[in-house]
Chains A and B, each alone.
Chain A
Amino acid sequence: MQFAFTDEQQMIRESARAFLEAEASLPAVRLASGAVNGYDEGLWQQMTAELGWSGIAIPEAYGGAGLGFVELGILAHEQGRRLVPSPFFSTVCLATPVILELAREEQKRQWLPAIAAGQLKAAVAVTDRVGHADIRKVGVKLAQVGSAWVLSGEAHFVVGAQSADLLLVVASAKDANASQSLRVVAVASGTAGVRIEATEMLDVTRPMASIYFEQVSVSAEDCLGVDIDASSGLQRALDQARTMLAAEAVGGAEYSLEAVTAYVKERVQFGRAIGSFQAIKHRLADTMVLVEAAKSMAWYAACAADEYANEALAVAASSAKSCCADAFNAVASNAIQLHGGIGFTWDHHAHLYFKRARASSMLLGSPAWHRERIALGLGLSQIASVPQF
């Protein structure tokens, strides 16, 4: 038990921060979010091919650095501070754990070294039209028709879909004997019958798309793994990705707090820095309490992603995801308030963080959904009594 960064982890953090401060200023972030596919390909190549960020948690046997979710979380956290738009979350934090949990050996050999080298971008299509976080409610079906398999349906809120080369599609499958299971199917993004429609989102820093599958022919070989239900492995990978969202949210929250703290020290009204008013000080103090709590949770959950078995990880991931999302939302909204009028403008960065906070809290399960999951994990029986009107 050692709940502090090692020297190596500290070094990864410092070098990532220095790199992003130089290469991903807020104006650059705005520019990137307006680019094709919503990110800066040159920056992505630097992050991956040069710095090796996409391979940090990929085993050495597949061309990665063989580190874990704490190191990956450090990179997610640093990018969260700058709201860097990139395929990092979709490819590295989400698709890679799915591959590691579920893919066959030859699939891993095909994809993981390419991801580590920055040559392959991937996205995971798991969410239905309503945005359910429950994997039993996916909107894509995989049906066996004779000896062939056909994908149909739609997936929404797919992070990084526009730029992805490889789509990992979660589908409820029914084979010729009508036996049902959950499968993850690998589909190249240019495949006939796959239509990717970019959706304009409030959060411009994390592009999403809807994907429509119109009778897409696939083979059994395209499924990850061999003839097994993907639920348990997928759930683990999703929980690991949730811990990375938590780390990223903490990065955003931390930066928001630093920026607004600096502002209230400079902004003078009534002849004094507004940061000298107790109303402001106490609000920022409460904000800091949330940020520090969220930090503790994010790093705990990142450790859990490496160390815990599925059920314990689920509780840790849900705890961190909801706690960090709530904290980021609160911090980002306080930041707008304490900046006053300027914080309400399009040109100021505060709304970018505010919108990222909200979008992240809705991704892979809302805070309330995660709290209900924790309640179930605590063994609280479910039947609610409904009041009589």
Chain B
Amino acid sequence: MKIGFSAAQEQFRNEVATWLAEQLSGPYADLRGVSSHTAMVERRRVWEAELGRARLSSVGWPVEWGGRGASLAEQVIFAEEYARAKAPSRLNHLGVELLAPTLLSYGTEAQKTRFLEPIVMGKEIWCQGYSEPNAGSDLANVATRARLESGPNGDEWVIDGQKIWTSLAAFADWIFVLCRTEEGSRGNRGLSYLLVPMHQAGVTVRPIREMTGHAEFNETFFTGARTAAANIVGAPGEGWKVAMATLAFERGVSTLAQQMDFTNEFEALVKAAQANGQATDPLIRQRIAEASIGLSVMRYSALRMLTNAESGALSHEAFTYRLYWGVWRKKLGELAMDVLGPSGEYAHGDSPLAHDLQHMFLFSRSDTIYGGTSQIQRNQIAERALGLPKEPRGN
């Protein structure tokens, strides 16, 4: 057990840092510090391509698919340097971090050939179609249906239904959708995992305005939407297994990038506290220290989790990690507002820094809801990690 990096790893860090610094002070200076997931979409597409050409889009992927086959330590280093350079948030993070690893594990060779390169090069942006109005925490209660039909373009899946909370749907090119493909099936049986083009008449996207005032999520409606019969990952009826694998990748290396965002938010909060004098308040100091401990907890829990994941088992910390960070970030938001004081109540903050912290506070209310509420997380920890009896199911 060792936390330091080797000389070769530090050299990789240097290479990444130098490249990022050159790009973000040169041709991509306008993108430095862009953290919104919905801002400057066209420029961020170009940036994704630049990353792809440098083989930095997804350093952990195999070399043959555009990555570098990087070790875990190198992926940690990349995430750290990416955040330190204030590089823009990844436009295609759902494609890079969720769909691509799913395809690498479950996709056919044809699917890998067709889809991975456009992901690496930022040519096709992906979004995720899991949740439905009646399938939130009870994710398996999927009502969106798909059936195979023969037509002029050969066999195609025809999809009808509605997905919700689809972030990035407003400009995504493709969506991976969990659909019910066996008539009369219930729960997690009879589902399939389909890849569907967004730019077609059968797909309609409607933004949802959230309590932040922004619209980062959408509703996505499928009305006779179509995709080729080959665009299914895994066999028909195996969708649940594949979808769960995708969710498991949320616990993967992408958590490191997210942690770096948290570090930046924490540092912004400290800056605000020092600027307005709140950093001298003993109780605020205690809470800032507590938040900083949390950053270390998340970093080292993620490293444990990722190291253990290489052995294939879902270890204890993998169960608790999701709940931990959701609760941590919500507290960070509350601390930020206490630091800002009354000026945090101005509708848009009284400075860009205050605005960002305020937005983080509001957005963080969703951190214990999306991807499985904290209540569901606690059930899972209790039942799957501690082995307590399962909740009885209704009909």
* Interface pair B288/A288, CB less than 8 Å apart: no
In the complex, chain B residues whose CB is within 8 Å of the CB of A316: 296
- Chain B nearest Cβ from A275, distance in angstroms: 4
Contacting B296 at CB < 8 Å: which of A4, A288, A300? Answer: A300
Contact between chains at B282 and A297 (CB < 8 Å):
no
The answer to whether A323 touches B293, judged by C-beta atoms less than 8 angstroms apart, is: yes
Measured in the bound complex, the distance between the Cα atoms of B301 and A370 in whole Å is 21
Separation in Å of the B14 CB from the closest CB of chain A? 16
In the bound complex, do residue B280 and residue A381 qualify as a contact, i.e. CB atoms below 8 Å apart? yes
Q: How far is the CB of B329 from chain A (nearest CB, A)?
A: 14
Known: A378-B289, A378-B292, A382-B280. A296 touches B2 (CB 8 A): no
Scoring A residues 359 to 384 as 1 if CB is less than 8 Å from chain B, else 0, what string do you get?
Answer: 00000000010111011001011111
- Taking CB atoms, residues of chain B closer than 8 Å to A261 are 386-388
Does the CB pair A384–B281 fall under 8 Å? yes
Q: Is the CB of B389 within 8 A of A276?
A: yes
Q: Which of B4, B9, B308, B389 contacts A275 (CB 8 A)?
A: B389
The interface stretch among B118-126, B190-198, B252-260, B316-324 is B316-324
Interface flag for A289 (CB, 8 Å): yes
A245 proximal to B (CB < 8 A):
no
A302 and B3 alpha carbons, distance in the complex (Å): 10
**Is B4 in contact with A384, judged by CB distance below 8 angstroms?**
no
**B139 lies within 8 A of chain A by Cβ:** no
Contact B280 A285 (CB under 8 A): no
Kindly list chain B residues whose C-beta atoms are within 8 Å of the C-beta of A297.
293, 296-297, 300
**Chain B's interface: helix, strand, loop or mixed, by majority?**
helix
Chain B: residues with Cβ within 8 Å of the partner, total of: 55
Among candidates B273, B282, B290, B300, residue contacting A3 with C-beta atoms closer than 8 Å: B300
Report chain A residues within 8 Å CB of B385: 288
**A371 and B389 in contact (CB under 8 A), knowing A285-B323, A307-B4?**
no
Contact A296 B297 (CB under 8 A): yes
Contact A319 B293 (CB under 8 A): yes
Q: Does B381 contact A (CB under 8 A)?
A: yes
- Say what secondary structure dominates the interface of chain A: helix
Contact status of A281 and B307, CB under 8 A, knowing A303-B2, A371-B286, A380-B274: no
Q: Give Cα A381–Cα B275 distance, bound, in whole angstroms.
A: 11
B3 contacts A374, C-beta separation under 8 Å:
no
Q: Is B199 an interface residue (CB 8 A)?
A: no
Residues of B within 8 A of A382 (CB): 280
Q: Which residues of A contact B273 (CB under 8 A)?
A: 380
Instruction: List the one stretch of B59-67, B353-361, B372-380 in contact with chain A.
Output: B372-380
With contact pairs A293-B324, A374-B292 given, residues A1 and B389 touching in the complex (Cβ less than 8 Å): no
Selected from A1, A281, A383, the residue in CB contact (under 8 A) with B5 is A1
Question: Is the CB–CB distance between A372 and B3 below 8 Å?
Answer: no
Do A276 and B388 have beta carbons less than 8 Å apart? yes
Chain A residues, CB < 8 A from B4 = 1, 307
**Which residues from 155 to 192 on chain B have a C-beta closer than 8 Å to any C-beta of chain A?**
none
Q: How far is the CA of A310 from the CA of B313 in the complex (A)?
A: 36
Say yes or no: B297 contacts A288, CB within 8 Å. Answer: no
Most A CB contacts (10 A, CB to CB) among B76, B289, B319, B377 go to B289
CA distance A282 to B368 in the complex (A): 14
Chain B residues with Cβ below 8 Å from A319 are 292-293, 296
- Cβ of A230 within 8 Å of any chain B Cβ, yes or no, is no
Question: Which A residues are in CB contact (< 8 Å) with B304?
Answer: 3-4, 295-296, 299
User: Is A202's beta carbon under 8 Å from chain B?
Assistant: no
The CA of A282 and the CA of B285, in the complex, are separated in Å by 30
Contact flag A381-B279 (CB < 8 Å), given A261-B387, A296-B304, A368-B286: yes
Q: Assess the B3–A303 pair: CB atoms within 8 A.
A: yes
| Residue with the greatest number of chain A CB neighbours at <10 A, chosen from B72, B286, B375 | B286
Pair B378/A371 contact, Cβ less than 8 Å: no
The answer to whether the Cβ of B245 comes within 8 Å of any Cβ in the partner chain is no
- The 10 closest A-B CB pairs, nearest first, are A281-B382, A371-B289, A276-B389, A285-B378, A285-B381, A296-B300, A374-B289, A3-B303, A375-B285, A1-B73
- A-contacting residues of B (Cβ < 8 Å)? 1-6, 9, 72-73, 76, 270, 273-274, 277, 279-282, 285-286, 288-290, 292-293, 296-297, 299-301, 303-304, 307-308, 316-317, 319-321, 323-324, 327, 375, 377-379, 381-383, 385-389, 391
A-B contact pairs, 7 of them (CB 8 A): A2-B73, A3-B304, A273-B388, A275-B382, A293-B297, A372-B289, A375-B286
A: residues with CB less than 8 A from B are 1-6, 9, 70, 261, 264-265, 272-273, 275-276, 278, 280-282, 284-286, 288-289, 292-293, 295-297, 299-300, 302-304, 307, 316, 319, 322-323, 368, 370-372, 374-375, 378, 380-385
Having A284-B382, A319-B292, one finds 10 other A-B pairs with CB under 8 Å, namely A1-B3, A276-B389, A278-B391, A281-B382, A288-B320, A293-B301, A297-B297, A371-B286, A374-B293, A380-B288
